[in-house]
Amino acid sequence: MARILIVDDANFMRLTLSNILKKAEHEVVGEGENGLEAIQLYRKLMPDLVTMDITMPEMGGMEAMKQIKQEFPQAVIIMCSAMGQQKMIVEAIEAGAKDFIVKPFEENRVINAIKRLGF
């Protein structure tokens, strides 16, 4: 079981992901709506894993991930985006993401991604 922080500007997406994770017996320790909140919540909650949307207001997921990884190199982050563009996936992985999930979320894909990371 992992302690997970969900970061997405869409409430519906956070709710969907939260339901998938709770069903798989993971603990959702916090939710954020943008990259700035993601950084603050990571520092405060120190989750095992973060699911991070790429496109968000104020600060996007890529920038937030880079800042979190700079401060906490051990951070485990899975990027999420409705845009399954190859370039974006490669960029996210090169920047330190451990995996990439495309929206809309498929329950099996989400659970398998987390299992592959050892949770």
Banded model confidence at residue 83, pLDDT cuts 50, 70, 90 = low
Indicate yes or no: pTM above 0.85.
Answer: yes
pLDDT tens-digit profile of 35-77?
Answer: 999 999 999 999 999 999 999 999 999 999 999 999 999 999 9
Distances (CA, A) of 92 to 13, 16, 25, 62, 97: 20, 22, 27, 7, 5
The overall average pLDDT reported for the chain is 94
Instruction: Kindly calculate the radius of gyration of the chain based on its CA atoms and give it in whole angstroms.
Output: 12
CA distances from 115 to 13, 64, 68, 70, 85 (A): 21, 24, 22, 25, 24
The confidence band for 80, taking pLDDT boundaries of 50, 70 and 90, is very high
Q: Tell me which CATH code domain 3-46+61-116 carries.
A: 3.40.50.2300
Tell me the C-alpha distance between 112 and 29, whole Å.
20
